[in-house]
Amino acid sequence: MNAATQPRHSPRESRDEAYNFAYLDEQTKRMIRRGLLKAVAIPGYQVPFGGREMPLPYGWGTGGMQLTAAILGAEDVLKVIDQGADDTTNAVSIRRFFARTAGVATTERTPEATIIQTRHRIPETPLHSDQIMVYQVPIPEPLRFIEPSETETRTMHALNDYGVMHVKLYEDIATFGHIATAYAYPVTVDERYVMDPSPIPKFDNPKLDMSPALMLFGAGREKRLYAVPPFTRVTSLDFEDHPFEVQKWAHNCAICGSHDSFLDELILDDQGTQSFVCSDTDYCAQRVNEGRTGQ
């Protein structure tokens, strides 16, 4: 598909009556909503929930899907992105799943969506307060790669004991001269819990801070959910002499010419000729519609 194609808005479909609305039974959805309320009340805290087996594999967005199923209403307009794009195979698959089981309208336009389920990106178009972002999370525990035991990490969170995380970041600086984390970059939420923002590039971290939209995170396999309520301080971990900074590109998007969006690198030929395009396909298409071009 050409990225410049007009994005689609699909009206409500008739839903598959063989399943409950949005697949999960009402009791399960209620259980998840209770978990979400707790998560919103304790920003950044990982709430265990009775995750269900979904008809998609673990690791492919089952946590995000369960949250979406729990909050989805008949009037909602759903957008699903994977790597910023609406038309990657898994985004298509999840969007179709809800169109089929909930019969909701779907869209590729960021401003039109009321719920945006995402894997690995936050849209470039600023979010507004009527929107909910649902993130698919593989490993919800930011301390997991430092301390493999769940019993230990839960205690560390309880005691606000995040020294090891700073030591890890310091060791990066000592070894490489920079903090060597490019995505799933840890953040502190509301000056309390250290949280994994899911594997979004650190480029997207600043979009979490004081966002007017509610941010919900679901990890299906690990059976954890957490949240960042609207207008909550979210700071990326750093040091005074090594402040947090985001990725920059020396190139512009080859399609829309954007110089401040996250760019995907493409290899065009055997000689390794590079080209760069926006990872957020909707943002890119809107700019093209406004008459902007790459060259």
Partner 1 sequence: MYVAVKGGEQAIDNAHKLLAKKRRGDTSVAELAVAQIQQQLPLAVARVMTEGSLYDEELAALAIKQAAGDLVEAIFLLRAYRTTLPRFCASVPIDTSNMLLNRRLSATFKDVPGGQLLGPTFDYTHRLLDFSLLAEGDHAGPQTRADARVEACPRVLGLLAREGLIKEEADTGAPVADITRQPLEYPASRAERLQALTRGDEGFLLALGYSTQRGYGRNHPFAGEIRVGEVEVWIEPEELGFPISIGAIEVTECEMVNQFVGSASGLPQFTRGYGLAFGHAERKAMGMALVDRSLRAGEYAEEIVSPAQQEEFVLAHCDNVEANGFVSHLKLPHYVDFQAELELIRKLRTPAKEQAR
Q: Which residues are catalytic?
A: 44, 253, 256, 278, 284
Strands 274-278 and 263-267: antiparallel
Taking CB under 8 A as the criterion, the residue among 9, 12, 13, 87 binding partner 1 is 87
> How many helices, marked H, and strands, marked E, lie in the chain?
7, 13
Interatomic CA distance for residues 193 and 275, integer angstroms: 39
Q: 224, 47 in Cβ contact below 8 A?
A: yes
Instruction: Kindly state the smallest distance separating residue 129's Cβ from partner 1, in Å.
Output: 26
Site size with partner 1, rule: CB under 8 A: 69
- Footprint on residues 186-205 left by partner 1 (CB under 8 A): 199-203
Interatomic CA distance for residues 25 and 65, integer angstroms: 13
Q: 39, 225 in Cβ contact below 8 A?
A: yes
Q: 121, 280 in Cβ contact below 8 A?
A: yes
Instruction: Kindly state the smallest distance separating residue 4's Cβ from partner 1, in Å.
Output: 8
Taking CB under 8 A as the criterion, the residue among 15, 119, 157, 287 binding partner 1 is 119
| CA distances (Å), origin 94, targets 33, 54, 56, 64, 262 | 20, 11, 9, 10, 23
Identity of the residue, 44 or 61, whose beta carbon is nearer to partner 1 in the bound complex:
61
Identity of the residue, 75 or 243, whose beta carbon is nearer to partner 1 in the bound complex:
243
Interatomic CA distance for residues 288 and 257, integer angstroms: 9
Instruction: Kindly state the smallest distance separating residue 254's Cβ from partner 1, in Å.
Output: 6
Taking CB under 8 A as the criterion, the residue among 21, 254, 256, 283 binding partner 1 is 254
What are the residues binding partner 1 (CB under 8 A)?
Answer: 1-3, 19-20, 23-25, 48-55, 57-60, 62, 82-85, 87-90, 92-93, 96, 119-121, 138, 148-151, 176-178, 180, 182-184, 199-203, 221, 223-224, 247, 249, 254-255, 262-266, 268, 275, 277, 279, 281
